[in-house]
Structures are given as structure tokens and as C-alpha cells.
Structure 1
Amino acid sequence: MDFTAIFAIFCVFVAPLWLIMHYSTQRRHAQSLTREDEKMLSDLWQLANRMESRVKALETILDTQAPHWRDKA
């Protein structure tokens, strides 16, 4: 078997399967979150919860001190 036949077999059978497997693995890897992404999401979630509790506290204070503040907005 000469080099041309081996190269042809590689191009017809091996290369397409190799490319399909490679890019499916890359896509699967890109869809998952890294540890840094998970930590950032966790930090953002905690910050959002803290902000929500602060807004609720401010609304409670405004409801007490200026009962009709919602009507002005």
C-alpha cells in the first residue's frame, strides 16, 4: 500500500470521525460552567439577595415615614 492510498483512507474514514468527535467534545465542554463561573454566579446571587433585603427595608421605612410615596412614582 502506498502513501496515497493510506492518505485517502485516512481522509475518507478517520478524519471525519475525528473532527466530529473533537467538535462535539469542544461543544460539550463549552456548555459547562467553570469553577470561576460558578463562584461568580454564587457571589452575584448573594449580592442580589442582600440588595433585595435592603430594598425591602427601605420600602418599609418609606411606608412608615411617607405613606403615599408609591403614588408619587
Structure 2
Amino acid sequence: MEEMFVILTGTSLIIFTMFVAPIWLILHYRSKKQVSQGLSDNEMHMLQELAHKEEQMAERIKTLESILDAESPNWRERA
């Protein structure tokens, strides 16, 4: 029974070493390379769009708050 366990363990180690470990290392270093390169042009464009939309929403919120302040001065206390 112990011989069978040793054979299975050895076989598993060989399979891991030949197939899993190289794929794992390739994917690991590929992801490290992508992280070190920074944002792509598409990602940078999307980030700029989000920043622009955030500025627009902040302006709208200020406008809505000023309208609420004028119409209902105590609205902040009720919220």
C-alpha cells in the first residue's frame, strides 16, 4: 500500500513539475509585466472619461443642494 502511495505521489510531483508549474510561472510573470507597464491607452481613456463624469456629477449635486437649500432650508437635518 505504501508503494502505491509513493508511486502516486511521485507521479503527481512529475505532472505538477512538467505541466502546472511552467504555466503558473508564465502567467505569474505575464501579470507582473502588465502591472509594471502601467495603464494601456484604452484604460487611460476610460479613466479620463470617468473623471470627467465625476466632475459633472459633482457639479449637479452642488446645483441640487443649492436648490434644496433655497426651497427647504432644513432638508439636511431630516436626511
TM-score tier, shorter chain, comes to 0.5 to 0.7
* Counterpart residue number, 1:71: 77
Aligned mates of 1:58, 1:49 — CA distance in 2: 14
5+ residue gaps, structure 1, are 1-18
Percent identity (aligned): 37
Secondary structure at the aligned position of 2:55 is classed as helix
**Aligned ranges for residues 1-73 of structure 1 at < 5 Å?**
23=29, 26=30, 27-28=32-33, 30-31=34-35, 32-73=38-79
Shift of 1:69: 0.4
When the two structures are superposed, what TM-score results if normalisation uses the length of structure 2? Answer: 0.58
In the TM superposition, structure 1's runs of 4+ consecutive aligned residues that sit over 3 Å from their partners are none
RMSD: 1.7
CA deviation map 1:12-48 (0-9, x unaligned) = xxxxxxx8xxx3xx313x1111000000000000000
Q: What letter matches 2:51 in structure 1?
A: W
5+ residue gaps, structure 2, are 1-24
When the two structures are superposed, what TM-score results if normalisation uses the length of structure 1? Answer: 0.62
